[in-house]
């Protein structure tokens, strides 16, 4: 955090626009998706780490420099969804390609993970309009990113070693975990809205 804080202060002092950092971060994430698509998993993991460094910087730079804006928050939230999807899309392209690693199961798992990771974020954003803060569930965005990094850095598609092919297992966790977190949030939001409606009816 010392390093992150020093970078934040330096960028804020230099007058760097936080929105530029957000755009750089999502651009790097697109590169991560491309690397996944070509089967360069290790380098995709390294790029994913770099991309999320920018994700940590933009909001902090905005706060330190006093440049927090509604559009900045909207841009950051919207591009985060794009960043999530391009990584999964890259995995879908790789496992759908005509290679020895071709796997309909992995394509399906990546697709399910992509759908419900977006739905988890959408339910949170939508519920805030009803006055409900729904940051519940064990598989939120930071956990998804960490899992993708672990899967990427421990997968070498051309290796025959069981221990060098962890991404399929990570996809199972992402698919099931994202689905469960979505269901958890939907149930939680339903409960909270019922409480609000009960208070309003009194």
| Active site positions, annotated | 80
Quick one: how many helices (H) and strands (E) in the chain? 7, 0
- Helix axis angle for 167-200 and 141-153, nearest 10°, is 180
Q: At residue 58, what are phi and psi to the nearest 5 degrees? A: -60, -50
Nearest to 5 by CA among 40, 67, 53: 53
Name residue 165's beta-bridge partners: 155
Three-state DSSP class for residue 162: helix
- What single DSSP character describes residue 99? S
């Amino acid at each position: 955090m010392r390093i992150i804080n020093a970078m934040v202060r330096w960028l804020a002092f230099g007058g760097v626009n936080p929105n530029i950092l957000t755009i750089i971060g999502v651009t790097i994430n697109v590169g991560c998706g491309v690397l996944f698509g070509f089967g360069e998993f290790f380098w995709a993991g390294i790029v994913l780490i770099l991309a999320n460094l920018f994700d940590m910087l933009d909001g902090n730079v905005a706060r330190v420099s006093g440049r927090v804006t509604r559009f900045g928050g909207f841009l950051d939230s919207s591009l985060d969804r794009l960043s999530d999807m391009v990584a999964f899309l890259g995995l879908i392209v790789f496992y759908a390609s005509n290679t020895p690693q071709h796997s309909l199961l992995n394509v399906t798992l990546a697709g399910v993970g992509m759908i419900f990771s977006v739905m988890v974020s959408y339910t949170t954003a939508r519920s805030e309009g009803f006055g409900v803060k729904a940051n519940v569930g064990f598989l939120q965005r930071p956990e998804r990113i960490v899992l993708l990094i672990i899967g990427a850095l421990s997968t070498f598609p051309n290796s025959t070693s069981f221990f060098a092919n962890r991404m399929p297992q990570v996809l199972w966790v992402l698919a099931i975990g994202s689905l469960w977190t979505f269901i958890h949030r939907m149930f939680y939001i339903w409960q909270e809205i019922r409480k609000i409606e009960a208070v309003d009816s009194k």
